[in-house]
Structure 1
Amino acid sequence: MTTTVLSLRGARVRYGPLEALHGVTLAAPGPGLTVLLGRNGSGRTTVLRALAGAVPLSGGAVWWDGVDVTGVPAYERARRGLCLVPERQAVFGSLTVRENLALTAPDPEPALDAYPPLRPLLERRAGTLSGGEQRMLALCRALLARARVVLVDEPAQGMSPAVAARTYALLAALDACVVVAEQRLPPALYGHPAFAYVLRRGAVVFAGESGELGGSASARQP
């Protein structure tokens, strides 16, 4: 049984004189997978950051487990079990792969089972990894955190199709409220029971089951 865990209610976010979100309302269930789709500049990353508390709202509210957490800072949301994996700078480049994982949990084995290609790279500095390898490392840290809410911006960026499909399978299997942001619906989610929101210019223009978007023009190019 799934219930709404995290939601935005009429959320507005401003960057200086520009408003990036224009009264966005959406809800993410848990456990379950929610997908935010939109081109660059659509507001999908800002939605993730607003949910995490990384940017303040100029209007509206963030609710978590039926409680208004709009004024709760990002570090406190993290303590309560929220994990944000940003698109960029998601790992500590000066630390090794092993050291990055140790920041989250002393035993990295459960996460390494998810991404075996990282095993021979444990002593490499994260900053020397490829883009896809860095995404795997960032997601390993998210898996180790055992968070109640996981927010991921473009989780499969730089990955091969096979690894990308595995990544979405891992995210969908988490016992957590998972929200991911992508430019278009990933092929791995065609037919998958996920809820989707399409954003355009800071507003929600579609809300429904991801299956309603599969193969459509709006899914390929929201």
Structure 2
Amino acid sequence: MTTSTISLRHARVRYGPLEALHGVTIAAPAPGVTVLLGRNGSGRTTALRALAGTVPLSAGAVVWDGTDVTRLPAHERARRGLCLVPERQAVFGSLTVRENLELASPSYDEVLDAYPQLAALLPRRAGTLSGGEQRMLALSRALLARARVLLVDEPTQGMSPSVAARTYDLLSGLHACVVVAEQRLPPVLHGRPALVHELRRGTVVFSGEAAELDPPARADRTPPPPGSRPSG
């Protein structure tokens, strides 16, 4: 599978008169895991959506493998191998677990090996699953998609520590560009090679390897830019 690198360059996103990203520049190389780190309101989710094309830029660019794809619609980015797993509504709640998986691939044994808990849930409607079970299902669908760029918002939300660790093992093992949005650096990534971009109030306050990241006390250094908006 061909690897892929994606980036935001001086990206600005507005929601009406309020700006959520203030000239953000971040890059996610492949293969590997890149973490967009930040509290609620930092802009990490908006940055993820900007990469996916589900929110438009008011300025700046999205560059994918050296090509400006800023004006490429989300469905066309998906057709070219980009997969977004949002924090909410990432599965078809009215369909069974089996039907959700079959929409991604007729053969899904590999994800049942990765998440054996799903095997007993195959006949269940996805909307009746717990939050952690829905995340397992959403990620299983994404793994089956064989994406070149995989964007995941809060990948391990609701999961037990052991399942969360397994999830990051799976994501780290993909020969793809993987970008995740997290509030805190996942413990499983401590000591592993991972690129981190920390955002605060729509600006990047740190970019580097996970091992270089300062303690959380750094979070209040940057004053809020004018016109900022509480956005994920």
Q: TM-score, normalised by structure 2?
A: 0.91
Per the alignment, residue 26 of structure 1 pairs with 26
Deviation at 1:221, TM superposition (A): 9.4
**In the aligned structure 1, how far is the partner of 2:199 from the partner of 2:37?**
6
Q: 1:217, 1:99 → 2: CA distance? A: 42
Partner of 2:165: 165
Matches within 5 A, 1:190-209: 190-209=190-209
Tell me the C-alpha RMSD between the 2 structures.
Answer: 1.6
Aligned-partner Cα distance in 1 for 2:20–2:171: 27
Alignment of 1:169-188 (within 5 A): 169-188=169-188
- Following TM superposition, by how much is the alpha carbon of 1:213 offset from its aligned partner in structure 2, in angstroms? 2.2
Contact 2:32 2:172 (8 Å CA) reproduced? yes
Offset of residue 17 of structure 1: 1.1
CA contact (8 A) 2:200 2:219 kept: no
Secondary structure of the residue that 2:104 maps to in structure 1?
coil
Structure with the greater relative contact order (CA < 8 A, sep ≥ 6): 1 or 2? 2
How many residue pairs get aligned? The number is 219
- Unaligned runs of at least 5 residues, structure 2: 222-232
Paired letter, 2:178: V
Match in the other structure for 1:144 = 144
1:48 and 1:42 map into 2 onto residues whose CA distance is 12
Shift of 1:220: 9.3
**In structure 2, what is the equivalent of residue 102 of structure 1?**
102
Residue 229 of structure 2: aligned partner: none
Deviations, residues 185-220 of structure 1 (Å, cap 9, x unaligned) = 011111110000100000000001001127x22589
Matched residue, 2:42: 42
Percentage of pairs with the same residue: 75
Q: 2:118 — aligned with what?
A: 118
**Is structure 2 residue 101 aligned with structure 1 residue 130?**
no
43 and 53 in structure 1: CA distance in 2 versus 1, 3 angstrom threshold: same
Q: In structure 1, what is the Cα distance between the partners aligned to 2:170 and 2:120?
A: 21
Partner of 2:225: none
1:171 deviates by 0.3
Do 1:184 and 1:219's aligned partners in 2 also have CA atoms closer than 8 Å? no
SS in 2 for 1:41: coil
Cα offset for 1:8?
0.4
- C-alpha separation between the residues in 1 aligned to 2:4 and 2:61? 15
Aligned AA for 1:171?
A: L
TM-score of the aligned structures, taking structure 1 as reference length: 0.95
